[in-house]
Structure 1
Amino acid sequence: MHDIPHGFSLFREDLDHVCQELAPSWSELRDARIFLTGGTGFFGMWLLESLIWANQAHRLGITITVLSRSPERFLSTRAPHLRDRDELRFVAGALTDFDMPAEPFTHIVHAASENNVDQRADWAQRQLNAGMDGTRRVIDLAVRSGTKSLLLTTSGAVYLPSDASDGQRYVEGPAGIVDYVSERSVYGLSKRIMEVMTAVAAQQHSFDALVARCFAFVGPYLSLEHNYVIGNFIRDALQGKQIIVEGDGTPLRSYLYAADLVVWLLTILARGRSGVPYNIGGTEAVSVSELARRVAAAAGLPADAVTIKGTPVPNARPSSYLPSTQRIETELGVRAAICLDDAIRKTLAWHRQRIGAA
């Protein structure tokens, strides 16, 4: 069984991995005062625990202020183990109209995002409002604070298929929007607008505008109920259910483990080039059908535990959602250190330990 240190919810080996991989960057973040949006979600939980662990290991003097609509609910239900942490503070409020904290921040990580889990008809408007108004509010905080660096997490959804230079992998170039009302296009366009707003403000007010275009991830705290294919597969495997692939299983995806995600995000925050977007995601392409089989195998389920409903079209080119990671690997020296099969096994083990402790 993997070891979870007292006061944390993530595996010690993952926290140590983040701490060790970021050794070249910790000096840049010493005594940082970080403001974090999206701090109560998947990205946020990993960032919080990793930074707190590094604080303990290296005495970095980092403080993190988290924006949350309800800090008390977060600490009571999702993260009671983070209560009374000296380096952790909260600002209560919504992204678009939170009260500006009095203290300045050296770094801001804007990782908040709307989702469309409930399929509400007003989602497109909410996404645009949150993207533009929320980013404007965060920029105002950066200007007021004299912030050194603002890291914005956007999405691979900013790309269209035509942006894949080799027909499969997306590179960090300009993109256009064809279907303005589709969920992906609205989401991608709002993220692109956020990038532009941040870059323009950075040029005017002399802070670093850092952009992380995030693709697909796996690890503890990833929701198993939302519309994440790998999360749904892991949920069904944990319950011993048949893993159902609704389509033909041919689309290609890649996944980065959350510990590597934290390493890449904080490396960008510490050493990234201002105004330059960096793709973040896995390097191993895997079809959805193969992903289902690998989840089943990792969970100890038989081969017939996977059902693929659709039939592939002969000679059809599969759709793909794959990043080119050449820029971040070359410029910042990061790598995907944890392979997909190990990532799946770790995620299954984490959930099983939580189920056992419930």
Structure 2
Amino acid sequence: MRTVGDSSEGRDLVDDLDEVLERAEADLRSLDGRRLFVTGGTGFLGTWLLEVLVWARRRRDVGPTIEVLTRDPESFATRSPHLAADDAICLLRGDVMAPPISLAVPDVIFHAATPASAALNDSAPTLMYDTIVDGMSNVLELATAADRPRILFTSSGAIYGRQPSDIYGLPESHGPEKLARPSAYHEGKRIAEQLCVEATVAGDAEVVTGRLFNFVGPHMPLDTHFAIGNFIRDALAGGPVVVGGDGTPFRSFQYAADLVVWLLALLVRGEPGRSYNVGADDAIDIASLAHLVAAEVGGCDVEVRGTPDPSRPAERYVPDCTRARVELGLVNHVDLAEGIRRTAAWHRGRGG
């Protein structure tokens, strides 16, 4: 299977998918013969999960049957025809805002349906909040028809609020601060997490929560609010790589193949009612990230438009992933520079 066009400079997903199969084989075998219901299957996370599950069936003849809830099956089939045509995948037309109808009672649910849109969060916060909270409620309602299904809810590190400058990485025990300007996205994720805990305590489902941070990899859009995607876009176009701010905030980035290994582990082995940070521990400031992308992708210039204020501490958004490492044995195998190279090569192969 090739998931990109032929190109001597391009890179398909085969190597990544084979790496995931090797590292996550036991977790994938645990899903063999199960009935998996997926929301958010057309986004970055969901697409990667489906790529891996389809590849596992082709390479190892293992995997679940999969129902994917999507508002637009035709659009999904156009973007990912090899996934839409796979016998193991059934596309269900619907919206997580309405109680989803499954053709078969699921025993595993992957819930990732959330609009990752900063514009929507600003322009229609009530819609953002309702999509997260009502969507979670509807998924849990679906779970009541099953026998305590396993559920992975993809939450966000944003639930912690602003990271104190003296904390290098946020642990799961860090309490959220009262937000100066409430965010519908942050608050919706917090309430959804509480619903997950309540469902687990009540015995309705076994819900594990992944608090996701920042990522890089194939299938990541280059034209949205993700800084690393914008930088790769700029570098592929010949530069300059433009940093709109002062370049001082710190972030960390997990490669997509590592991400899906972690998500499979949480789905299969995570402790019900528990939350796990999902991401990378190694922090880099945005200006240095721009220079790294420029060096790895195009050897182009970097333009930092803002001016740092030395009196103000640099903002941070970096997880502490000790819990996932200690409890589930999860580590990242692809470093940031390699992840950038792989992502850029994949987009080159698609004519990006």
TM-score (norm 1): 0.91
5+ residue gaps, structure 1, are none
C-alpha distance after superposition, 1:309-332 (max 9, x if no partner): 222223642111000000001110
SS at match of 1:67: strand
Residue number in structure 1 paired with 2:87: 86
Shift of 1:147: 4.3
Alpha-carbon separation, structure 2, partners of 1:125 and 1:180: 18
Q: For the Cα contact (< 8 Å) 1:67–1:91, is it kept in 2?
A: yes
Check 1:313–1:120 CA distance in 2 against 1; reply closer, same or farther (3 A cut): closer
Check 1:142–1:83 CA distance in 2 against 1; reply closer, same or farther (3 A cut): same
Residue number in structure 2 paired with 1:52: 54
* Residue 150 (structure 2) pairs with residue 149 (structure 1): yes
Alpha-carbon separation, structure 1, partners of 2:241 and 2:3: 34
Alpha-carbon separation, structure 1, partners of 2:174 and 2:142: 28
C-alpha distance after superposition, 1:222-276 (max 9, x if no partner): 1111100001101111111311112211111000000000000000111111111
Q: Which moved more, 1:272-281 or 1:51-60?
A: 51-60
Query: Which residues of 2 match residues 325-340 of structure 1 at below 5 A?
Result: 325-340=321-336
Residue number in structure 2 paired with 1:34: 36
Alpha-carbon separation, structure 2, partners of 1:203 and 1:47: 27
1:211 to 198, 209, 212: 209
Residue number in structure 1 paired with 2:293: 295
SS at match of 1:161: coil
Residue identity in the other structure for 1:154: S
Residue number in structure 1 paired with 2:219: 221
Q: For the Cα contact (< 8 Å) 2:157–2:277, is it kept in 1?
A: yes
Residue number in structure 2 paired with 1:350: 346
How much is the aligned-residue C-alpha RMSD, in angstroms? 1.9
Check 1:139–1:206 CA distance in 2 against 1; reply closer, same or farther (3 A cut): closer
Residue number in structure 2 paired with 1:314: 310
Residue number in structure 2 paired with 1:169: 169
Residue number in structure 2 paired with 1:179: 179
Q: For the Cα contact (< 8 Å) 2:99–2:142, is it kept in 1?
A: no
C-alpha distance after superposition, 1:65-104 (max 9, x if no partner): 101001122102x112223211001111111115412311
Residue identity in the other structure for 1:308: V
Check 1:200–1:48 CA distance in 2 against 1; reply closer, same or farther (3 A cut): same
Residue identity in the other structure for 1:343: G
Q: For the Cα contact (< 8 Å) 2:240–2:302, is it kept in 1?
A: yes
Alpha-carbon separation, structure 1, partners of 2:61 and 2:116: 36
Residue number in structure 1 paired with 2:23: 21
Check 1:84–1:246 CA distance in 2 against 1; reply closer, same or farther (3 A cut): closer
Residue number in structure 2 paired with 1:269: 267
Alpha-carbon separation, structure 1, partners of 2:68 and 2:46: 9
Residue number in structure 2 paired with 1:280: 278
Query: Which residues of 2 match residues 95-134 of structure 1 at below 5 A?
Result: 95-119=96-120, 122-134=123-135
5+ residue gaps, structure 2, are 6-11
Alpha-carbon separation, structure 1, partners of 2:98 and 2:270: 29
For these two proteins, the number of residue pairs brought into alignment is 346
Greater length-normalized contact order (CA 8 Å, ≥ 6 residues apart)? 2
Q: Identity of counterpart residues, as a percentage?
A: 38
Shift of 1:193: 0.5
1:193 to 175, 191, 201: 191
Alpha-carbon separation, structure 2, partners of 1:60 and 1:115: 31
SS at match of 1:145: coil
Alpha-carbon separation, structure 1, partners of 2:120 and 2:75: 24
SS at match of 1:336: coil
Check 1:24–1:120 CA distance in 2 against 1; reply closer, same or farther (3 A cut): closer
TM-score (norm 2): 0.93
Residue number in structure 2 paired with 1:202: 200
C-alpha distance after superposition, 1:294-343 (max 9, x if no partner): 100111324xx101122222364211100000000111001110000000
SS at match of 1:39: coil
